[in-house]
Amino acid sequence: MCFTVYIHHTTSEHDTRHLSIINPVTGHTVYSPWQRPYYTKCEHPHIVGPIHPGEHCKWHPGCCRLECRKWCWTKGCKVLAEYHHFVDKEKGEVNDTSFLQQYMGRSVDRLWIAGHFFKNGVELHMARHFIKESRRIIKESPNPLDVTRSIWLKERTSADEQLAIAGLGQFALLWNMNVGFGGLPPRPGFEPDPRRNGDIERLLGLRVVPVPDSEVVVDTNDIKWPYYVKLEQQYQAGIEPIPDIPVIVPSIVKGTRLESLVDPMPSAQFSGSHTLKTGSVGTRSNPGNLARKGGKTVHRAEAVVGHWPLTEARNAVKWYKVRWAEDSGDKETWENNHHISAELIHVYWQRLDADTPPQ
């Protein structure tokens, strides 16, 4: 497993980490350090003088001096965890990441729990944001097309909200199960009154979204969240390996299609994971729902269920996630577009187009 810590030396105004709701009942929200920040280009970069190539930040070009630290526990890692920490020296903040030792127990797999916990919180925040915006447009917009699109978006994101809450509850329980000596620190946001979470947030170096006291919501239920959530069977032993790397979150692409895939992977993840060979599975030699698994043997596929990169046009997409119809190892794997029949890819894009709201 590889654990990479990115330390962003920039101002608080350039902190573009995603907001994460870490308690769906109280709405307690923090800036998540376990996902990649979103790219922003400042019209007036505040750093004077050249930035050393080794300190270049691809997320905040011209406004950040990036410091990178990496730990690798096994040779040929295929599991990636990232942590983004922001230091604002202009406000007197000190570059100190010693708090990360709180996460380092006897098993590095526990880092996955934290990553997925915050990721589900990000997805929950995004879903609630778009639901709120959709309701506003439905209520205020005089444009029927805007209203139609907003109704579609509200319905789609309402389903995503429930999925995010369910996932957040699972990883909240897993976090609680792994707290203690050699494990994780207490879970952030666990207090039913958000104002009592300060000690844990300072211990873990979290930056909290300020909420006026008049808007503070306290969990007054007899059974506090997430203890009324039923832990899924595969998690009851503590933690199971999860093929999703929790560094990328869903996004709205060009304002038309909500990408609700929960596990898009960066291109670096494909390196070493498949041995691709020349030759393709095309409509002539292998018609229908066939694909080469790992670029090798031809197998029958159930469907294509994802693509990468998410924001590229169809003709620029290089990778597809294939769900296999037969028992041949992994149920779903990422394959090069040249190893998948054209029919499978065509059906996949037809389904996405059907999910796209009216133009």
The tens place of each residue's pLDDT in the chain, 359 residues long, gives 678 899 999 998 899 999 999 999 999 999 999 989 988 888 878 888 888 888 999 999 989 999 998 877 666 666 678 899 999 988 999 999 899 888 877 666 678 889 889 999 998 998 888 888 877 877 777 887 777 777 877 777 788 888 889 989 999 999 998 888 778 899 999 999 999 999 999 999 999 999 888 889 999 999 999 998 888 877 776 665 555 667 766 543 323 223 333 333 333 233 222 222 223 333 333 345 666 665 556 778 888 888 776 656 677 787 888 888 866 566 778 888 888 888 888 888 887 776 554 44
Domain assignment of residue 98, yes or no: yes
Sign, CA torsion 189/190/196/202: negative
Cα distances (Å, whole numbers) of residue 270 to 119, 214, 312: 21, 48, 17
Q: Are residues 210 and 297 located together in one domain of the fold? A: no
Is residue 277 one of the residues assigned to a domain? Answer: yes
Cα-Cα-Cα-Cα dihedral sign, residues 258, 304, 308, 337: negative
Task: Indicate if 222 and 344 belong to the same structural domain.
Answer: no
Domain boundary among 248, 273, 308: 248
Are 345 and 216 in the same domain? no
- Is there a single domain that holds both residue 238 and residue 318? no
Is there a domain that residue 324 lies in?
yes
Among residues 218, 248, 278, the one where a domain terminates is 248
Q: Is residue 138 part of a domain?
A: no
Say if residue 83 is in the same domain as residue 219: yes
Final residue before a domain boundary, out of 185, 214, 248: 248
CA distance 321 to 343: 15
pLDDT at residue number 85: 95
Whole-model pTM: value is 0.67
- Do both 184 and 57 map to the same domain? yes
User: Are 219 and 350 in the same domain?
Assistant: no
Domains identified in the chain, total number: 2
Residue 10 tokens, joined: 């920039």
Residues 6+ apart with CB under 8 A from 57: 8, 10, 63, 64, 65, 66
Position 84 in a domain: yes
pLDDT score, position 252: 38
Residues 240 and 269 in one domain: no
Q: Are residues 215 and 73 in the same domain?
A: yes
In a domain, 23, yes or no: yes
Question: Is residue 296, in this structure, part of any structural domain at all?
Answer: yes
The H or E element that residue 157 is part of is helix 144-177
**20 falls within a domain:** yes
Q: Are residues 242 and 321 in the same domain?
A: no
Residue 212 and residue 321 in one domain: no
pLDDT at 285: 34
- Structural domain of residue 60, as residue ranges? 1-122+174-248
Q: In terms of domains, do 243 and 286 share one?
A: no
Farthest CA pair distance, the chain: 67
Cβ neighbour number for residue 172 with a 10 Å cutoff:
25
